[in-house]
Amino acid sequence: MKNTDPLENPDLDRASLFVLIIPVIGFFPALWTLYRRQGSPERKAVSRLAIALAFSWLLGHILLEAGALSAETRTVPMLLMSSLLTTSYFIVSLGLMVRLWKRQPLWLPGISRAAEQFLGKHLS
């Protein structure tokens, strides 16, 4: 007879992965997952991806907003690019949620590899 934990439910684990992908808010549980160094390899990979997405969005947003504040003539294009970056971040997160719902692997070209290489060394 298999000795399984009654509280271990794959559907609940999958639902907790949705929380990690929520834009901005999911960053904190993802960071907590990697900080504790616990969880399944899939959960750690999704956490690294969520953190990499959030950091890249935040860095781009800060740089574009700072550029818009310091530029005299290019304010509107930089603010427009900042809003497009934020919209893209939310759409990519939504796309990752759809892929998770369809039980497809969560992978983004470039970002997934960078997250595994950089965050895999430092946080796991």
The pTM is what?
0.80
Indicate whether 31 belongs to any domain.
yes
Q: How far apart are CA 114 and CA 29, in angstroms?
A: 20
Indicate whether 5 belongs to any domain.
no
Indicate whether 1 belongs to any domain.
no
Indicate whether 2 belongs to any domain.
no
Instruction: List pLDDT tens digits, range 61-98.
Output: 999 999 888 887 888 888 999 999 999 999 999 999 99
For residues 48-52, average pLDDT: 91
Q: How far apart are CA 84 and CA 76, in angstroms?
A: 12
Indicate whether 4 belongs to any domain.
no
Instruction: List pLDDT tens digits, range 10-19.
Output: 666 778 889 9
Indicate whether 95 belongs to any domain.
yes
Burial class of residue 19 in the structure, from the number of CB atoms within 10 Å of its CB (0-12 exposed, 13-18 middle, 19+ buried) = middle
Indicate whether 26 belongs to any domain.
yes
Indicate whether 118 belongs to any domain.
yes
| Residue-range definition of the domain harbouring residue 118 | 10-123
The count of domains in the chain is: 1
